């Protein structure tokens, strides 16, 4: 019985450590980012399996492997922390962005509209704008709007309380963007919706967006459903192209399985900006939680 248990533990260790290592290789192959989504969970399972190895095997090599494995699992788990803890500026007069995937299945926009009214944002970024939920864009109270068709699930859209720089509205695959004039200077505002990662088309879409983003200069503010975690190669690429960073204090926004949620909805703020608060909002009829970020440039 002990040998069977040891075989199970070793099998789990081979699977989880291989997946963890693969999750670091998103720059080499998009499967790496798919594995990176579950980095914390895989590291936790691997750490428990290493404990089982230490308990089941009296060999010195097993004890050394367990000790090394715990260190590696801890390091990988801790690698996600830079995006987990928000930094506060203490300034409550910053700009506010409300980010929301509306869900093409949304039956009523009333709950989201009440939530937006409670937040009173300067900017709104929306995904899966389709059918009746278009009312969120039209009745948001923000006067400057832009919407771009995307996939069958719906369009991407943005709204701003601040005026648009003439001639800057444009669309790219899964992106709506325009430059707005804020009290702290001009700012590119964009809404992004990425496809699901490998084996779906996220990496190809990222290449298309990269070519488009290389044509623009200036500060960026991006809200979106990226279908990817902040420590991924995909997010590193987008933040590098836009000279932004993922707003710290990420939230687990998408219920993947029951109460288990993953962090795939983010706000990218200018690299020099100070994030004052980063909070999640109710589902409000969607399958994604909203995200609200207040920041100071």
Whichever domain contains 261, its CATH number is 3.60.10.10
Domain end, chosen from 79, 114, 146, is at 79
- State the pLDDT at residue 259: 80
User: What is the tens place of the pLDDT at every residue in 175-189?
Assistant: 999 999 999 899 999
pLDDT of the residue at 92:
63
- β-strand partners of 73: none
Residues 174 and 105 in one domain: yes
Examine the domain organization and report whether 48 and 120 are in the same domain: no
* Residues 112, 222 share a domain: yes
pLDDT: which is higher, 1 or 239: 239
93 and 238 share one domain: yes
225, 118: one domain: yes
- Let me know whether 99 and 186 are in one domain: yes
Residue 128 in any domain: the answer is yes
Residues with Cβ < 8 Å from 101, sequence gap 6 or more?
126, 127, 128, 193, 225, 265, 286, 287, 288
Residue 145: predicted pLDDT? 96
* pLDDT for 189: 98
Instruction: Mark which of 79, 98, 115 sits at the end of a domain.
Output: 79
Q: Are residues 189 and 71 in the same domain?
A: no
65 and 109 housed in the same domain: no
Whether 238 is covered by a domain: the verdict is yes
The structural domain count of the chain equals 2
How far is it, in rounded angstroms, from Cα 201 to Cα 111? 32
Residue 272's nearest CA partner among 216, 218, 203 is 218
Query: Is 153 among the domain residues?
Result: yes
* Percent of the chain predicted with pLDDT > 90: 60
Residue-level pLDDT at 258: 76
- Give the pLDDT confidence score for residue 89 in this predicted structure: 52
**Are 170 and 278 within one domain?**
yes
User: 113 and 21 in one domain?
Assistant: no
Kindly report which listed range (21-35, 61-75, 117-131) carries the lowest average pLDDT score. 61-75
The domain containing residue 45 runs over which residues? 2-79
Q: For position 60, what pLDDT does the model report?
A: 83
**Assigned domain for 52 exists:** yes
Same domain? 143 vs 103: yes
Domain contains 120: yes
Give residue 51's pLDDT. Answer: 86
Segment 33-52 shows an average pLDDT of 91
Query: What per-residue confidence (pLDDT) applies to 154?
Result: 93
Q: Is residue 84 part of a domain?
A: no
**pLDDT tens-digit profile of 225-246?**
999 999 999 999 999 999 999 9
In this predicted structure, what is the pLDDT of residue 91? 55
The pLDDT value recorded for residue 214 is: 84
Boundary-marking domain end, from 79, 101, 130: 79
**Average pLDDT over all residues of the chain:** 90
Structure tokens given for 150: 């995307």
Q: pLDDT tens digits for 73-104?
A: 999 988 888 777 665 555 567 899 999 999 88
Mean pLDDT of 39-44: 92
- Helices 233-242 and 202-213 sit at what angle, rounded to 10 degrees? 10
Considering the domain boundaries, does residue 200 fall inside one?
A: yes
Q: Is residue 180 part of a domain?
A: yes
The predicted structure's pLDDT at residue 3: 80
| Same domain for 74 and 96 | no
Q: What is the pLDDT of residues 256-292, one digit of tens each?
A: 877 888 999 999 999 988 888 888 899 999 999 999 9
């Amino acid at each position: 019985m002990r040998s069977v248990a040891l075989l199970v533990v070793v099998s789990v260790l081979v699977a989880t450590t291989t997946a963890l290592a693969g999750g670091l290789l998103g720059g080499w192959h998009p499967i790496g980012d798919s594995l990176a989504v579950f980095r914390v969970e895989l590291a936790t399972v691997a750490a428990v399996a290493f404990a089982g190895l230490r308990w089941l095997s009296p060999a010195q090599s097993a004890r050394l492997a367990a000790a090394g494995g715990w260190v590696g699992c801890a390091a990988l788990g801790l690698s996600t922390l830079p995006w987990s803890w928000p930094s506060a500026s203490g300034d409550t007069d910053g700009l506010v962005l409300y980010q929301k995937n509306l869900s093409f299945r949304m039956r009523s926009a009333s709950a989201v509209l009440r939530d937006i009214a409670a937040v009173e944002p300067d900017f709104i970024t929306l995904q899966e704008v389709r059918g009746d939920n278009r009312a969120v864009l039209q009745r948001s109270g923000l006067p400057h709007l832009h919407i771009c068709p995307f996939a069958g699930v719906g369009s991407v859209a943005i709204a701003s309380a601040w005026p648009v720089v003439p001639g800057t509205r444009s669309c790219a695959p899964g992106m709506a963007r325009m430059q707005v004039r804020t009290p702290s200077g001009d700012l590119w505002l964009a809404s992004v919706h990425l496809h699901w990662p490998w084996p779906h088309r996220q990496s190809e879409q990222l290449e298309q967006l990269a070519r488009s983003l290389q044509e623009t200069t200036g500060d960026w503010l991006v809200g979106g459903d990226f279908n990817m975690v902040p420590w991924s190669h995909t997010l590193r690429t987008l933040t590098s192209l836009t000279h932004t960073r993922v707003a710290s204090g990420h939230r687990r926004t998408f219920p993947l399985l029951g109460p288990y949620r993953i962090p795939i909805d983010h706000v990218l703020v200018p690299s020099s900006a100070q994030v004052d608060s980063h909070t999640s909002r109710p589902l409000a009829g969607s399958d994604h939680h909203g995200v609200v970020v207040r920041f100071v440039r």
